[in-house]
Amino acid sequence: MVFSSLTFLFLYFLIVMLIYKILPFKFRNLWLFIVSLFFYGWGEPKYILIMVFSIICNYFFGYKVKDEKGKKYLILSIIFNLSLLGFFKYTNFIVSIINSIGFNINVSTIQLPIGISFYTFQMMSYPIDVYRNEADTQRSIVNFGAYVTMFPQLIAGPIVRYKDIALQLENREESLTKMYDGIKRFMVGLSKKVLLANNIGYIWDSIIVTPIGEISMLNAWLGIIAFSLQIYFDFSGYSDMAIGLGKMFGFEFLENFNYPYISSSVTEFWRRWHISLSSWFKDYLYIPLGGSRISQFVTIRNLLIVWTLTGLWHGASFNFVLWGLYYGIVLIIEKVFLRKYLKENIISHIYTLFIVLIGWVLFAITDFDLMFKYLRAMFNFNNVIDKRAISNIMNYWFIILIGIIGSFPFIKEKTTKILEKYEWIYPFLVAGSLILCIANIISSSYNPFLYFRF
C-alpha cells in the first residue's frame, strides 16, 4: 500500500511538472490551480467545495477593501475566515466544554480539514495586504486560486503571505539551475523527514506508552529530547520540501526555520522556529494591537493575547492553550526582566533549551494528568536511571547524536564548502538519499507528519 501510494505521488508529480513546463506561461497558474485542487481532493474530496467557496469569497473581499467601504469589507473578511476556521477546528472543543458543565449537546464529530489553519491564514493575508497598500488587488481569480491551493505548501506550510508572492504569480524566473536547486532542497527535506524524524520518533513513541510510574528521570529526558528533534526535523523537513518544490515551479518561498536550537533566548527561538507563523502573528495582530510601543502593561497584554491565540491555532485542546500561555509568560519575563542578562553564552543556551524542552511536554501530551506526571518524572531523583533508559541509549545513541549535530549550522557550513569544491558529488548524494528514503518508506508503516493535524 505504501509503495503504491509512493509510486502514484511520484508519477503524479512527474506528469504535473512535465505538462507545466510544456504549457505557455499564461496557462501555468491555471494548471497549478487545477492539479493542486486535485491533490487536495485526493485526500479529502468533500472539502474541495469549501476551499473553492473560501477562495471566491476572499477574492471578492480583496476587490472590495479598495473602495470607500474598505474597512467594513476588511472586517467582514476577517470574520468570515475566522468563522470558517472556528467552525471546523473548535466546534467539537466548545461543545465538549459546554457539556462538561452539565449540558448535553449532541453534535456529530466534525472532521478537521487537512491544512485548514495554514491556508486560512494565507487567505486572510490577501485582503489585509491589499487594504494596507502592501500589494495590488489580484484581478485573476485563477492566479489567486493558484496562490491559495499551491500544493507544495498547501497542507503544512510554510504560511506564504500574499504580498510575498504577488509579483511571482505574474512573472517568475524558471531555469534549469533553479530546478536543480529545488531538487536538492527537496531531497534535504525528504531526508530530514524520513531518515531522521521518523527514526527518532520511535524513541518518543516507545517511552510515552511506558507506564508513567516506570519512567526514570533519564528516560523521561531522553523521550522529550527525542520528541524535540522529531518535531524539528519533521516540520523543517516538510518546509524544505515545500520550498524545494516551489523552486521547481519558479517560486521563491521565504524560509521557515533557522536552526532554532542554537538560540540564546526564547525570544530568539521564536524568531527562528516556524518563522512564517511567528511573523504572521507579529505583523497582523501584535503590532496592530500596539506591539511594545505604548506601555509595559499593553506589551504584557498583547503578548498574552498573541500567545493564547498561537496556542489555540495549533489545536483545539487545553494543553495548547497552556502551551501558548506558558510561552507568553516566559516572553514577558524575558522582555521585562531577563533581556539584559541573556547573552550569547552557554548558560543562555542551556536556559533556552530547558524552557523549550519543558514546553514540548506541554505541547506533546494532551492529557493533563499524564502531562504533569511526565514532568514529575523528569525531576524524580528517586528514580534517576533504569534498564529501559540504558537500553534506549544503547539502541538509539547514534540517531540522537546525528539529530543533535544536524540541529546546528556548522555541519551545513562545512558540507557546503566541500560540495562547492566538488560539485559533481551532488547528483550522487541526491540519488543516494532518494534510494534510502524510498527504502525507509517501503519498509516502515510509521510515517507521520506531525503538523498535518493543524
Active centre residues (catalytic) = 314
CA atoms within 13 A on the CB side of 431: 5
Sign of dihedral through CA atoms 146, 148, 149, 154? Answer: positive
The span from the CA of 379 to the CA of 307, in Å, is 27
Cα–Cα distances (Å) from 371 to 200, 316, 361, 368, 382, in that order, read 21, 17, 7, 5, 19
The span from the CA of 40 to the CA of 11, in Å, is 16
Q: And the C-alpha cell for 162?
A: 500574499
Q: And the C-alpha cell for 285?
A: 495582530
16 close to 34: Cβ distance less than 8 angstroms: no
The span from the CA of 292 to the CA of 197, in Å, is 37
Sign of dihedral through CA atoms 228, 346, 358, 281? Answer: negative
Phi, psi angle pair for 383, to nearest 5°: -140, 75
Q: Which amino acid is present at 58?
A: N
The span from the CA of 221 to the CA of 29, in Å, is 48
Q: And the C-alpha cell for 314?
A: 495549533
**Which residue has 492553550 as its cell numbers?**
321
Q: And the C-alpha cell for 33?
A: 490551480
Cα–Cα distances (Å) from 366 to 63, 221, 287, 319, in that order, read 42, 18, 31, 5
User: Which burial class, exposed, middle or buried, applies to 417 when counting CB atoms under 10 A from its CB (0-12, 13-18, 19+)?
Assistant: exposed
The span from the CA of 42 to the CA of 74, in Å, is 33
Task: Kindly report the length of the chain.
Answer: 454
330 close to 266: Cβ distance less than 8 angstroms: yes
- Please write down the long-range contacts of 271-274, taking CB distance under 8 Å and 24 or more positions apart: 274/157, 274/158, 274/235
73 close to 80: Cβ distance less than 8 angstroms: no
